[in-house]
Every structure is written in structure tokens, then in C-alpha cells.
Structure 1
Amino acid sequence: MKKLLLGLCLALSGIQISFAQSPADQEIIKISKDKWQWMADKNVGTLDSLFHENSMFVHMGGSWGKQRELDVIKSGGIWYKKADIHEVSVNIIDNTAILLNRIDLLAVVGGNEVTNPFIVTEVYVKQNGTWKLGSLSFTKLLTPGN
């Protein structure tokens, strides 16, 4: 009975959290989720529109700007096959949104399929009414689920 009650409380608290998100939070979460799919599909045209001209990308193997990231995606140097998203949080400060995802990323890197647990930091800036990705940074977790 205690387990059932605890499960019900956790489920209800999750529902309350989802209702607490603002429309702007929900918009950023949707953009981020769509981005993962566009990356998996190697849809560089759509990503080109999303990525700010001065955007930066931080990976385990280095950091670079927009054009190199698009080239890496297009060539398959990194193929973001699937991002399993476990947690998402958004903080909006003026025209800047900071989104944190805890994910397990299935990717092909250098011809090898790998799965890594990450906290991914995404920074979006709103310009002329449109959200642009300014930064995407991967922080590898030492163990999955932590």
C-alpha cells in the first residue's frame, strides 16, 4: 500500500511540474526535442536556420562553431542517431533560455556506434521573435542515471 501511495504521489508531482511550465518553457523544450530529431535525420538545412551565426558547440573531442558542426552532421562524422531524454529543465532570463537535458545519446562517431550518458546544456537567444541556438555543450556523466 505504501508503494502504491508513493507512486501516486510521484505521478501527481510530475503532473504538477508539467503544468508549472510556462508557454515559453514549453516552446524551448519543443525546439530542443525537434533539434535532436533534425540532428538524427542530418537535416542541416533546418539546423542552419536554428543555429545562431556565432553559435558554439562543445563535445568530448573539442569545440567549434556553427559551420563545422553542420559539416560534421552532414558528413556523418558524428551521427546523432537517438537521444533518449530523461530530464529537462528550462530557465529563461530576459531573451536567453538555458535548457538542461539529461540524456543517453546513441551516436556513431568515427564509424563506431556508442552510447553515452550526458548532461547537455543548450543556450538559446531570442532575436526578432525567433529562438536561435547559441551554444550546445555535452558533459559526460560518469555513470548512467546520475
Structure 2
Amino acid sequence: MKAFIIGLFLIFVGTIVTFAQQNVKYSLKQEKIINLSKQKWQWMAEKNVDLLEKLFDDKSMFIHMGGTWGKSEELTTIESENIWYKKVEIYNVTINIFGNTAILLNDIDLIAVVGGNEVINPLMVTEVYIKTKGKWKMASLTFSRLVRPVKYNNNHITD
């Protein structure tokens, strides 16, 4: 009987944990940063360097598969279309806030044009935001290629 009750309890706890993981609720602060991240992807697709310039901290760092550089180099890369962040499909977002620092992990497929060639890469993107003078600014953006296959399923990619 004791084993039955313990088994029932474990099933109950497991069900609650599974349900909680499937129904992630974000705080208002987390939602604000997640929405800012989504807006950033849109600005990158639109090559809107004016808005990105305001979002990126002056000391921000960008870590790509092919190099590492700062704010001015990233804005120049976007403006000159050396990398065009054409479209992003976001599959999962994890966010943690530590005081005035927020860290987002985004599981994405990035459709980009690099050197005139369109590529799709499965990536885990780490974004670090810091809150200064009441505003969230991006401090770092790191692209890490995932070993999973591309999830994006569109046989014809259009502009």
C-alpha cells in the first residue's frame, strides 16, 4: 500500500511538472525583453540601422560563426548587406533576469544572405541585455550553430 501511495504521488508530481513546462508563463519584465528581441530581429531584417544603433550598447559585442566584432562593425555589416538577416523562425525562448542583466537563449532557424548566397542555419542565439538609465540595451549577441537539422519548412523562400 505504501509503494502504491508513493507511486501515485510521483505520477501526480510528474504530471504537474510536465504541465508547468508546457505552459511557460513569463513575467511582464521577461515579456518586454522577449518582445524587444523579436523587434530586433525585425529591425535586422529591415536593415534599420538607426533603431539598432539605439538598441546596441556602445560596448556591445557580436560573435558570429565567421568572426567577432563590436557595435560599429555590426551596423556596417547590416547596412552594407554583407549579412542580411532576412528572416528568423523562433522555436523556443528561454530567459533569465539577474538584476539589471537579462540573458535570452533563442532556438532559431536563420535565413540569411551572406556574400550574395542565401543560407539557412539552425542556431542557438544568446542575447545579453543590460538595463542602463531605465532602458534595456543589447550588450552581446552570440550565434552558435546547432547540430539539429533545419526545421524551417518552406520550399520557396520569398522576399
TM range (shorter): 0.7 to 0.9
Q: CA deviation at 1:98?
A: 0.2
Q: CA deviation at 1:62?
A: 0.4
2:121–2:150 CA contact under 8 A, matched in 1:
no
Structure 1 residues 131, 14: closer, same or farther in 2, change over 3 A? same
TM normalised by structure 2 equals 0.80
Q: 2-side partners of 1:29 and 1:14: how far apart?
A: 18
Q: 2-side partners of 1:143 and 1:16: how far apart?
A: 24
Q: How does 1:52-131 map to 2 (within 5 A)?
A: 52-131=57-136
Q: CA deviation at 1:144?
A: 2.6
State the Cα deviation string for residues 78-113 of structure 1 (Å, max 9, x = none). 000001000001100010000000000000000000
What amino acid sits opposite 1:63 in the alignment? T
The residue number in structure 1 matching 2:23 is 16
The residue number in structure 1 matching 2:140 is 135
- Note the residue ranges of structure 2 that are not aligned, 5 or more in a row: 1-15, 152-159
Q: 2-side partners of 1:72 and 1:145: how far apart?
A: 25
TM normalised by structure 1 equals 0.87
Q: CA deviation at 1:143?
A: 2.0
- Note the residue ranges of structure 1 that are not aligned, 5 or more in a row: 1-8
SS of the equivalent of 1:143 reads coil
Greater CA radius of gyration, 1 or 2? 2
Q: 1-side partners of 2:142 and 2:92: how far apart?
A: 16
What amino acid sits opposite 2:51 in the alignment? T
Q: Report whether the alignment pairs 1:46 with 2:51.
A: yes
SS of the equivalent of 2:42 reads helix
What amino acid sits opposite 2:39 in the alignment? D
Q: 2-side partners of 1:145 and 1:77: how far apart?
A: 22
The residue number in structure 1 matching 2:6 is none
2:120–2:150 CA contact under 8 A, matched in 1:
no
Structure 1 residues 121, 95: closer, same or farther in 2, change over 3 A? same
Q: Determine what percentage of the aligned residue pairs are the same residue.
A: 55
Q: CA deviation at 1:142?
A: 1.4
